[in-house]
Amino acid sequence: MTADATPALVEDEQRTAAGPRVRRGSAYPRYLAGKVAGAAVSLLAVLVTSFFLFRLIPGDPVKTMTGGRQVSAEQLAAYREEFGLDLPLWRQFTDYCGKALTGDFGTSYQFRAPVVDKITEALPNTLLLTGTAFVLYTALGIFLGTRSAWRHGKLGDRVNTGLALTLYSIPSFWLGLLLIIVLSVGIGPLPGMFPTGGMESGGEEGFAYVLDVAHHLVLPVVTLVAVEYGQTLLVTRSALLDEMGSDYLTTARAKGLRDDLVRRRHAVPNALLPTVTLIFINLGRTVAGVILVETVFSWPGLGGLFYQALSVPDLPLVQGLFFVFAAAVILMNTLADLVYPLLDPRVAR
């Protein structure tokens, strides 16, 4: 290696470690416009799909709301008129789209309240549960995935990947029920230590209320972390294994850098692009919640609300929740697409 080539090599290495930059005059504005337009088309498709999809569910919402009581035909007709179910399908569709574009998803059949109000009421509970789990399983997955890749083929790698694959293949509702049996109800000499469900015991205030909510939060969070961290681990491990044979890592080692420093400053930042994709997808799913887990633990979030709405079926509430779930995922995917060129300018070319 010549003396003239050394500064260029160091400069290239520093640029790689710090992350590439998007140059002025690049294709980024055109790339940005295309992604935003694609997201808008996707949202419109979700709006249309949510109307027709849930009308395929068998059952009469009006008869379900009467609870099996003897109701006259005139009363049923009055209910249908009240909720607009007596209108032709095309008229229901145009009314739904027109109101939805202004943020009005109608009135819930079973709660007799605006759908937006019910979603706003349950959203903080879902974000508390899934947001806490998201932070934990993302950090755990990246940490264990990095260590597994760096010690590829060793005992720790085999144990980590084997356990991650096992837990990832377990249905979340089954694991949740198992945790309730073992840690809530108690089994043998092991007493029940956690609540079986709900978000609070009631009657607590101040710091005692925070501790009570945290106590109820433990089992559903453990369920989500156990099932979800394996995906982040495997993606991070695979991406890092692809980077480990790169020339710039060999150069960094030849310069005398410690192995941990090479991994942390050079290999991991350049292997995070697939992990970033997964992080944004999971971030979008935090709004949607986890329907089965929230239902098993009776958590008062959007997932449990969606399950209740399906059982009627409460069409306005189901449609509104479905649109919010899909919109969150589309928004996060679009945001991930916009971040990619900041990590690698070649994406926008």
Question: Residue 212: inside a domain, yes or no?
Answer: no
Question: Residue 17: inside a domain, yes or no?
Answer: no
More confident residue, 242 or 142: 142
CATH of the domain at 143: 1.10.3720.10
Q: Which of 19-23, 88-92, 140-144, 150-154 has the lowest mean pLDDT?
A: 19-23
Query: By the 8 A CB rule, do 343 and 272 touch?
Result: yes
- CA 305-308-313 angle, 5° bins: 120
Question: Residue 262: inside a domain, yes or no?
Answer: yes
Question: Residue 193: inside a domain, yes or no?
Answer: no
- What would the pLDDT profile of 282-293 be if each residue is shown by its tens digit? 877 776 657 888
Q: How confident is the model at residue 139 (pLDDT cuts 50, 70, 90)?
A: very high
Q: Which domain holds residue 45?
A: 37-175+220-348
Amino acid, single-letter form, for residue 295: T
In eight-state DSSP terms, residue 23 is P
Whole-number pLDDT of residue 136 = 94
Q: How confident is the model at residue 1 (pLDDT cuts 50, 70, 90)?
A: very low
Residues with Cβ within 8 Å of residue 200, at least 6 apart in sequence = 209, 212, 213, 216
Question: Residue 198: inside a domain, yes or no?
Answer: no
- What would the pLDDT profile of 313-331 be if each residue is shown by its tens digit? 788 888 889 888 888 888 8
Token output for 20: 């590439």
Give the number of domains in the chain.
Answer: 1
Report the C-alpha gap between 1 and 9 in whole angstroms. 10
- What would the pLDDT profile of 53-84 be if each residue is shown by its tens digit? 777 766 667 666 666 666 667 777 777 777 77
Q: How confident is the model at residue 16 (pLDDT cuts 50, 70, 90)?
A: very low
Report the C-alpha gap between 97 and 49 in whole angstroms. 11
Question: Residue 13: inside a domain, yes or no?
Answer: no
Report the C-alpha gap between 84 and 77 in whole angstroms. 10
In eight-state DSSP terms, residue 27 is S
Question: Residue 308: inside a domain, yes or no?
Answer: yes
Whole-number pLDDT of residue 223 = 93
Q: Where are the beta strands (DSSP E) in 132-212?
A: 186-187, 190-191
- What would the pLDDT profile of 155-199 be if each residue is shown by its tens digit? 888 998 999 999 988 888 899 999 998 888 877 777 778 888 888
Question: Residue 20: inside a domain, yes or no?
Answer: no
Q: How confident is the model at residue 343 (pLDDT cuts 50, 70, 90)?
A: low
Whole-number pLDDT of residue 254 = 67
6, pLDDT greater than 50: no
